[in-house]
Amino acid sequence: QVTLKESGPVLVKPTETLTLTCTVSGFSLSNATVGVSWIRQPPGKALEWLAHIFSNDEKSYTISLKSRLTISKDTSKSQVVLTMTNMDPVDTATYYCARIQGGRDYFDYWGQGTLVTVSS
């Protein structure tokens, strides 16, 4: 059974750095055919893909946030970590991690999401 679960702070202050962890089970981060993505959704708004990482450590970032994002993985812990620097209130959103199928790049399993609020 494939599961993903996000963890991290629920509240961050402006200018702080957000660190989110996605812990996966039911598949391995060394699996060559899949990867893990981060996607966010501001309240009442659409989905926005942020980044993904595959087993060979191939990474990709959304252009508009590339300077603020870092994605990494710890295969032994089955964890993928996303850091976002210089947080702003507009970054308030539910952050999801999702498994991405390599090649076709669709998201077949999602975590429950974690709401992160940016406020002083």
Partner 1 sequence: DIQMTQSPSSLSASVGDRVTITCRASQSISRYLNWYQQKPGKAPKLLIYAASSLQSGVPSRFSGSGSGTDFTLTISSLQPEDFATYYCQQSYSTPLTFGQGTRLEIK
CB-count burial class (<10 Å; 0-12, 13-18, 19+) for 73: buried
Contact 119, 13 (CB under 8 A): yes
Q: List 34's β-bridge partners, or say none.
A: 101
43 in contact with partner 1 (CB under 8 A): no
Question: Binding residue for partner 1 (CB under 8 A) from 57, 74, 88, 105?
Answer: 105
88 in contact with partner 1 (CB under 8 A): no
46 in contact with partner 1 (CB under 8 A): yes
Question: Binding residue for partner 1 (CB under 8 A) from 8, 21, 48, 85?
Answer: 48
Give the binding range for partner 1 (CB under 8 A) out of 9-17, 18-26, 73-81, 98-106.
Answer: 98-106
Contact 20, 72 (CB under 8 A): no
Question: For residue 45, which amino acid is it?
Answer: K
Query: Applying CB under 8 A, which residues contact partner 1?
Result: 37, 46-49, 52, 60-63, 96, 98, 101, 104-108, 110-113
